[in-house]
Amino acid sequence: MRILRKPSELLELREQNRRDGTVVGLVPTMGYLHEGHLSLIKAARAETGLVVMSLFVNPTQFRPGEDLSVYPRDEERDFQMAEKAGVDVIYAPSPDDVYPDGFATRVEVTGLTEVLEGDPASRGPGHFSGVTTIVSKLLNAVDPDVAYFGQKDAQQATVIRRMAEDLDFRARISILPTVRERDGLAMSSRNAYLSPEARERAASIWAALLETEKVTAESGLEAGLVAGRARLEAAGIEPEYFDARVPGTLDPADPESEETVLVAVAAPVDGTRLIDNILIEPRKTRSIR
């Protein structure tokens, strides 16, 4: 496994891949790897000839006062896990190399980024322009055939799909299912912040989404949302949002709709902000995870 630190090294790699006709898969991460990340790497390993994983805690997608300075990091452990999972090249640059003096460009997707996570009452739209700018840079510099993202960050996946289409990126954007702990909690690097008590309570987030799915199938979406929110409240968790949206547009879902609905939640558990979601087909009991 090769470890690259400089954007210039990435450009050399891109040129070489182009000459050799190598099919390239890119897995962008902020590190502190878990099974969710590994599922993306494994898919890339199975589908492409050269797997590139980026490891960069991107400062521009954190708001002032968020957890940038304490975000969990363990590069050595990440390198070992990545190599074992089949990564060929790690790109782990420094912030100064990614954003040198004079850096002045932002890539912004409108509309989709102004709701849910992008609502000013949550993280705000600046979060997503941080994400779309870094992902644009990575897509340009690596020029992958396929880039892999997780459904865990459903809105991020939607925004990146939109951006890739709007800006004519060549890469296919592949979105893979959320990997969960045994009790249903979505795997996340931020789960490391949870105390044992909070960790146990955090499982209620997935339980609430399943409750919404069940009650929606029986009594419709509005009742489903009420039941899901009540399940969270019973666990002493007050969500920032617990909303039903149209996948793809993120418009509010029509409660009578028979189409697939995205129910997304963000909730602080003992000060740790967790997100999760479920795709529900209102007229069927089957969900897509």
Candidates 36-44, 97-105, 113-121, 225-233; binding stretch for ligand AMP (CB under 6 A): 36-44
The b/e string for 117-129 (b: 16+ C-beta within 10 A; e otherwise) is bbbeebbebbbbb
The minimum distance between CB 117 and ligand AMP, in angstroms, equals: 12
**Candidate list 37, 137, 199, 231, residue with the active-site label:** 37
Cβ within 8 Å of residue 139, ≥6 positions away: 26, 147, 164, 169, 171
What track of x and - describes contact with ligand AMP for positions 163 through 202 (by CB under 6 A)? -------------x-xx------xxxx-------------
What does the alpha-carbon distance between residue 284 and residue 289 come to, in Å, rounded to a whole number? 14
Indicate which single residue of 153, 211, 213, 243 sits in contact with ligand AMP (rule: CB under 6 A): 153
CA nearest neighbour of 192 among 78, 10, 33 = 33
Tell me how many residues contact ligand AMP (CB under 6 A): 17
Of 14-33, which residues contact ligand AMP (CB under 6 A)? 29-30
- CB nearer to ligand AMP: pick between 137 and 152: 152
Of 238-277, which residues contact ligand AMP (CB under 6 A)? none
Residue 58 · residue 131 · CB < 8 Å = yes
Q: Does 37 bind ligand AMP (CB under 6 A)?
A: yes
| Alpha-carbon distances of 196 from 30, 128, 193, 203, rounded to whole Å | 24, 31, 10, 12
Indicate which single residue of 56, 79, 149, 169 sits in contact with ligand AMP (rule: CB under 6 A): 149
**Across-strand partners of 239?**
none
- CB nearer to ligand AMP: pick between 11 and 273: 273
Structure tokens at 169: 């990126």
Per DSSP, the residues of 136-150 read: HHHHHHH--SEEEEE
The residues annotated as belonging to the active site are 37
Residues that bind ligand AMP (CB under 6 A): 29-30, 36-37, 39-40, 149-150, 152-153, 176, 178-179, 186-189
